[in-house]
Amino acid sequence: MQWETVIGLEIHVQLSTQTKIFSGSSTQFGAEPNTQANEVDLALPGILPVVNEQAVAKAVAFGLAIDAEIGKKSFFERKNYFYPDLPKGYQTTQLEAPVVGPGHVEITLDNGETKSIRIHHAHLEEDAGKSLHEDFHGMTGIDLNRAGTPLIEVVTEPDMRSAEEAVAFAKKLHSIVTAIGIGDGDMSQGSMRFDVNISVRPKGQEEYGTRTETKNLNSFKFMEEAIEMEVERQIDLIEDGGKVRQETRLYNGDKKTARAMRSKEEANDYRYFPCPDLLPIILDDDYIEAIRATLPELPDAKEKRFMADYGLPQYDASVLAASAAMADYFEQTVKVCGDAKLAANWCMGELSKFLNQQELDISACPIPPENFGQLLARIKDDTISGKIAKQVFQAMAEGEGSADEIIEAKGLKQVTDTGAIEAMVDEIIAANQAQFEELKGGKDKLMGFFVGQVMKISKGQANPGQVNQILKKKISE
């Protein structure tokens, strides 16, 4: 039977505010346990929440970035359940009237096809603390530093039909979040957490199959693997006469395994109701427009502009536009070197390779874009070859100075003086008289040998084009 996969995502995005959503405690990552949890975060008796204005502003910015309706009157509700890392015994969240209503995100697939993924809504809520299961004499330790960190939970419609689509969407959402600066998007620290709802159905069937939820996938690679594994599991299960059970599953990316979470004894009944400690958030058009005015260029618009202004192919434009920091770096590089395609190739090639190796974000790149642009300018004006440029790049990365300084210090300037090249060509011909006669006799294969020898004695600095030209002249003499 032909099966169709149906995928919907729920994404928790930590908002990069200074303080928590309902208290003035710091949200900085990595502090000693419970040192950033005050009486509000600990849910002491008698405490009350007050909403952080930046949490609201960032949620609205997100809504505008996905072309969503903004809730002009949204309110918080209590979602009631007991868990040790949930201090109040309820999560303050939104259900009936979220701050961000329906919107959409466009994705581009590898085959160039585009697709619009509908966003059901996005709501503001507070994060929970962390349970540490290392052994404390058989007990669990609770750290509430993260409790109360502002989140938006983005909920998609079940619009994705493959792991590829889901990952393309996840990457796109990530690029939007980082472009508008509402979150750092660091998946390894849990700043952005993806839960994937997966079901399968016979192709052509309207009705959805029973879905499972796979939680907290902390890289795009794990997401792709987990989806493929789960789809296969569900299809095998059904084809063997079984039934998919609605359950929450945990994927282990290191072991490449997944398992169902211990099913709760009773069905959850969260007893949502409007939080009486908080009043409705009323937003007017002026407020919304003021936030719209602060929005930077979004990845989609940037991609189009890169294609139009720089003549980049769509692939290059979309890769560069996906990260606001990379896009900025690219644009500053172009300003200096004046060749967009060269800059794009180098940003996506050598630079990205280096950053990946060093596990650095572009924002932490040790080479300023001005220097990087200068390096590319030297390729363009034939001062150095592309091969030498890679050598210069390494030296720049190691902090040896600017491109020009390194070229100068190491004497890497390309030899373009015809006389000097001709002298080298003559030297090689004199040393390889017999082969030269064969070359003259029509054995063209030897051309490469002669060019190579000249490049070798020039330490790679001779302009290969000129070497070729002069050799041809010698042959025809």
Partner 1 sequence: MENKTLKQLSAGLASGEFSSTELTRHYLDKIKQHDGTYNAYITVTEEQALAAAKQADEQIAAGNAGDLTGLPIAYKDLFCTQGVRTSCGSKILDNFVSPYESTATDNLNKAGMVMLGKTNLDEFAMGSSTESSYYGATRNPWDTDAVPGGSSGGSAVAVAADLAPVSLGTDTGGSIRQPAAFCGITGLKPTYGRVSRWGMVAYGSSLDQAGPMAQNAEDAAMIMNALAGFDAKDSTSMDKPVDNYLADLNKPIKGLKIGLPKEFFGDSLDDGIRAAVMDAVKQLEAQGAIVKEISLPRTELAIPAYYIIAPAEASTNLSRFDGVRYGYRCEDPQDLADMYIRSRSEGFGAEVKRRILVGTYALSAGYYDAYYRKAQQLRRMIKQDFQAALADVDVIAGPTTPSPAWKIGAKNQDPVAMYLEDIYTLSVNLAGLPGISVPCGMKDGLPVGLQIIGDYFSEAKLLNIGHQFQQATDWHTRKPTVGGNS
Partner 2 sequence: MSLDRSQVESVAQLARLKIDEAEMPDYLNSLNSILDLVDKMQAVDTTGIEPLANPLDAAQRLRADVVTETNKREQLQANAPATEDGLFLVPKVIE
Least Cα distance to 218 among 194, 240, 234, 248 occurs for 194
126 class by beta-carbon count within 10 Å (0-12 exposed, 13-18 middle, 19+ buried): buried
Tokens (6 digits) for 320: 């560069």
Q: Which of 28, 73, 84, 423 binds partner 1 (CB under 8 A)?
A: 84
Q: Of the ranges 48-56, 178-186, 302-310, 416-424, which one interacts with partner 1 (CB under 8 A)?
A: 48-56
Q: Choose the binding region for partner 1 from 46-54, 207-215, 311-319, 377-385 (rule: CB under 8 A).
A: 46-54
The answer to whether residue 62 forms part of the interface with partner 2 (CB under 8 A) is no
Q: Closer to partner 2 by CB, 78 or 302: give it.
A: 78
Three-class SS of residue 356?
Answer: helix
Q: Where are the beta strands (DSSP E) in 218-371?
A: 248-252, 257-260, 273-274, 281-282
Structure tokens at 227: 């989806």
Q: Sign of torsion, CA 201 206 212 218?
A: positive
State the number of binding residues for partner 2 (CB under 8 A): 51
Shortest distance (Å) from residue 94 CB to partner 2: 12
CA pair distance 277, 469, nearest whole angstrom: 82
Nearest to 64 by CA among 326, 283, 319: 283
Among 5, 14, 25, 93, binds partner 2 (CB under 8 A): 25
- Does 78 interact with partner 1 (rule: CB under 8 A)? yes
The DSSP 8-state label assigned to residue 396 in this structure reads H
Count of other CB atoms within 10 angstroms of residue 411 = 8
CA torsion sign for 146, 221, 397, 342 is negative
> Should residue 428 be labelled a site residue for partner 1 when binding is judged by CB under 8 A?
no
Give the H or E element holding residue 164.
Answer: helix 163-179
Nearest to 165 by CA among 236, 228, 237: 228
Q: Is 442 in the site for partner 1 (CB under 8 A)?
A: no
147 near partner 1 (CB under 8 A):
no
Q: Which is nearer to partner 2, 287 or 449 (CB)?
A: 287
To partner 2, the closest distance from the beta carbon of 243 in angstroms equals: 24
CA distance linking residue 166 with residue 189, whole number of Å: 21
Applying CB under 8 A, does 75 fall inside the site for partner 1?
no
Residue 117 dihedral angles phi and psi, to the nearest 5°:
-105, 125
Nearer of residues 131 and 363 to partner 1, judged by Cβ: 131
Of 89 and 296, which has the nearer Cβ to partner 1? 89
We find the least distance from the C-beta atom of residue 281 to partner 2, in angstroms, to be 5
Residue 266 contacts partner 1 per CB under 8 A: no
Q: Name the strand (E) or helix (H) holding 200.
A: strand 192-202
Q: What is the largest CA-CA distance in the chain?
A: 99
The length of the chain, given as a count of residues = 477
Residue from 279, 301, 360, 431 touching partner 1 (CB under 8 A): that is 279
Q: What's the closest the beta carbon of residue 280 comes to partner 2, in angstroms? A: 6
Q: Does 218 bind partner 2 (CB under 8 A)?
A: no
CB of 304 to partner 2, least distance (A): 33
144 contacts partner 2 (rule: CB under 8 A) = yes
Contact 15, 58 (CB under 8 A): yes
Shortest gap between Cβ of 176 and partner 2 (angstroms)?
21
Residue 308 binds what, of partner 1, partner 2, none (CB under 5 to 8 Å, by partner type)? none
> Which residues are near partner 2 by CB under 8 A?
17-19, 23-26, 32-39, 42, 44, 50-56, 75, 82, 84, 131-133, 136, 138-144, 250, 261-262, 266, 269, 271, 274, 276, 278-282
Q: Which residues bind partner 1 (CB under 8 A)?
A: 39, 42-51, 78, 80, 82, 84, 87-90, 140, 142, 269, 271-273, 276-279
